Structure 1
Amino acid sequence: MNELAELEEWIAVLDACVEPIATRPVDLTDPDWVRKMREGPHPLDEAGIRPAAEAALRDVLSSYVEGPEQVRALLRALLERYHSFCWATTLPFEPTPQGFRQQLLEMSVKDHGGDTRDMMVTLNGLCEQARDTGVDIRPLLLEVADFSSDVDKYGMGSMRSILLRAAGREPVGLW
């Protein structure tokens, strides 16, 4: 557990660095707000912490896969607690089986992220992208479902049930 405490300290520092960017107000009355958001620097780059944040997320994923359910639950709670880090930090997608698995593990440990609907849209797109590059997604979805939480946090299904539905090759949605 000492390793988890050190990881939490590291993530807390990174979260504090990106938090002002994550919570900065967005002027929704500005007709160009979407373009400005897209064209602006990535929050991790703006904070100057991308390499450290991505390394921390890789450590989280490694501990998530290697640890028992108790550790996985602690890691899910950690990312929920440090929501600015969780919001800003993602790993790039590589269109390979390992890259797809890594993205699924990231979704699993983030356990719905900030919005289950957004996560479902992302999952559908990720599955489509992986299928288009020839990745056999079903066994990877089933594998990661085994790591995932059974808690239905927002009334749309648990992370495990959402991944299991996706393994059935149906688009993941609320219908």
Structure 2
Amino acid sequence: MSELPELEEWIAVLDASIEPIATRPVDLTDPDWVRKMQEGPHPLDEAGIRPEAEAALRDVISRYAEGDAEGDEDLRAALRALLERYRSFCWAVTLPFEPTPEGFRQQLREMSVKDHGGDTRDMMLALNDLCGQAREAGVDLRPLLLDVAHISSDVDKYGMGSMRGILLRAAGREPVGLW
């Protein structure tokens, strides 16, 4: 964990670059607001930091996986807390899904370290979509869901279940419901 201050410094700089975009007001009274957001540049591209931001997230996920190999819950908890502190970074940076078992595992680790992200409901919808894509690609979901569930937080942050519980429910092949 001695290298976490360097990682945090790197993520803090990236977060500061994204924060003005992430917190920019959206005029919901404009009937074209959705189209404008969809057609606009991705926040990472607008900030000009996509390669650096994706590299930082890959580093976080790699350390999270190393914490799994070493059984280091303190490291995993510190990485989850790091992403919770830097909400703009967490919101804007996602890695592309590769429809392979390892790609699915990587996406699950990303969800796990982000620990619900900003909204459990959005995370559940994303998990259902991810599971559907992986299933279509022929990925055996259950062992990977169980694998990542065992390193996930068991804290029920928002009253909809812990990340561990949500992944365990998904491993039971039920859609992760919102109610």
> Which interval holds the TM-score relative to the shorter structure?
over 0.9
Q: CA deviation at 1:41?
A: 0.4
Of 122, 127, 149, the match for 1:123: 127
Identity of aligned residues (%): 84
Distance 2:65 2:104 in 1: 15
**DSSP-derived class of the 1:2 partner:** coil
Q: CA deviation at 1:147?
A: 1.1
Q: Do 2:64 and 2:79's aligned partners in 1 also have CA atoms closer than 8 Å?
A: yes
AA aligned to 1:106 is E
Distance 1:19 1:147 in 2: 29
2:40 corresponding residue in structure 1: 40
Cα offsets for 1:96-148 (capped at 9, x unmatched): 11111111000000000000001000000100110011000100000000110
Query: Over aligned residue pairs, what C-alpha RMSD do you find?
Result: 0.6
1:163 corresponding residue in structure 2: 167
Distance 2:45 2:2 in 1: 29
1:17 corresponding residue in structure 2: 17
Number of positions where the alignment pairs a residue of Structure 1 with one of Structure 2 = 175
1:100-139 superposed matches below 5 A? 100-139=104-143
**DSSP-derived class of the 2:84 partner:** helix
Distance 1:36 1:3 in 2: 40
2:155 corresponding residue in structure 1: 151
1:35-114 superposed matches below 5 A? 35-67=35-67, 68-114=72-118
User: Which TM-score applies when normalising by structure 1?
Assistant: 0.99
1:31 corresponding residue in structure 2: 31
Q: CA deviation at 1:86?
A: 0.2
Q: Do 2:124 and 2:178's aligned partners in 1 also have CA atoms closer than 8 Å?
A: no
Q: Do 2:111 and 2:123's aligned partners in 1 also have CA atoms closer than 8 Å?
A: yes
Distance 2:52 2:178 in 1: 36
Q: Do 2:11 and 2:56's aligned partners in 1 also have CA atoms closer than 8 Å?
A: yes
Distance 2:18 2:135 in 1: 34
Distance 1:87 1:46 in 2: 14
Q: CA deviation at 1:174?
A: 3.0
User: Structure 1: 5+ residue runs without aligned partners?
Assistant: none
Runs of 4+ residues over 3 Å off in structure 1: none
